């Protein structure tokens, strides 16, 4: 039975690309401990990759070659259409002279892509996202980028840790755009402790705070709380 179930898990992941552990547990009607054992066995065989509170198929990405699996790239494709709609709404909140913080989420990455094609005359972007930093050469040349340093996290493709927190201390942020793993009535959560620490600091500094999240993020919880939904000036989701 276990071999049949793990085969079905692989088939399901190949179709879905990414899935949370809670969703897998519900899909196959097994206990939390059982689904974690099944996934651990598949991860140990190199067939699945654990990322950002869930799992995805360990398949080669053409951009990276046979050994260049990119969890971040896989997450970009997850709910792409929803993320683009959310980013269009978020773009309307940005004005001339803003000092923005853009987090390392794939949802906010789509907002950054839209800013690359925008025509503001004065804009500053602060980010810990390696992807945004790498692509900043495609932004208008008069935009200013401040990239936070720190310890590199491969799952988030971002810089975290004490060095990033120290750099934030000396900066001003007019508007912060963040996403999350989970959102309930009482808390906004992530599955990464250092990520939670960084986002908490950003929210303390920023004058205006925006939470970008598609419908799949609501009514689920990650391990670490970094805010209450009431702390945000606006929660932006798809219609």
Tally of residues, the chain:
239
| Separation of alpha carbons 66 and 205, rounded Å | 42
| 148-160: pLDDT as tens digits | 999 998 888 999 9
SS3 99: strand
195 is written with which tokens? 């990520």
For the chain, give every domain's residue range.
2-69, 80-236
Note the pLDDT tens digit of each residue in 182-237. Answer: 999 999 999 999 999 999 999 999 999 999 999 889 999 899 999 999 999 999 99
Instruction: Choose the CATH number for 80-236 among 3.30.1330.10, 1.20.1260.10, 3.20.20.70, 3.40.50.1360.
Output: 3.40.50.1360
Q: Exposed, middle or buried: residue 47 (CB in 10 Å: 0-12, 13-18, 19+)?
A: middle
Beta bridge pairs of residue 146: 126
- What predicted TM-score, i.e. pTM, was given to this entire model? 0.71
| pLDDT interval class at 75 (50, 70, 90) | low
Q: What is the pLDDT of residue 209?
A: 98
């Amino acid at each position: 039975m276990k071999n049949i179930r793990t085969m079905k898990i692989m088939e399901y992941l190949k179709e879905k690309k990414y899935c949370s552990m809670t969703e897998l547990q519900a899909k196959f009607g097994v206990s939390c401990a059982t689904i974690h054992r099944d996934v651990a066995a598949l991860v140990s065989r190199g067939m699945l990759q654990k990322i950002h509170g869930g799992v995805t198929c360990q398949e080669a990405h053409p951009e990276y070659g046979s050994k260049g699996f990119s969890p971040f790239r896989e997450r970009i494709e997850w709910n792409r259409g929803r993320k683009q709609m959310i980013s269009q709404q978020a773009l309307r909140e940005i004005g001339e002279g803003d000092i923005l913080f853009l987090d390392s989420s794939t949802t906010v990455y789509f907002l950054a892509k839209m800013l690359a094609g925008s025509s503001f005359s004065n804009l500053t972007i602060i980010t810990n996202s390696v992807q945004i930093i790498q692509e900043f050469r495609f932004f208008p040349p008069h935009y200013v980028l401040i990239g936070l340093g720190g310890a590199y996290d491969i799952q988030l493709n971002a810089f975290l840790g004490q060095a990033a927190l120290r750099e934030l201390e000396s900066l001003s942020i007019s508007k912060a755009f963040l996403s999350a793993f989970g959102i309930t009535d009482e808390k906004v959560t992530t599955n990464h402790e250092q990520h939670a620490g960084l986002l908490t600091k950003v929210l303390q500094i920023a004058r205006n705070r925006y939470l970008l999240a598609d419908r799949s993020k609501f009514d689920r919880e990650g391990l670490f709380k970094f805010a209450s939904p009431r702390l945000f000036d606006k929660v932006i989701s798809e219609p």
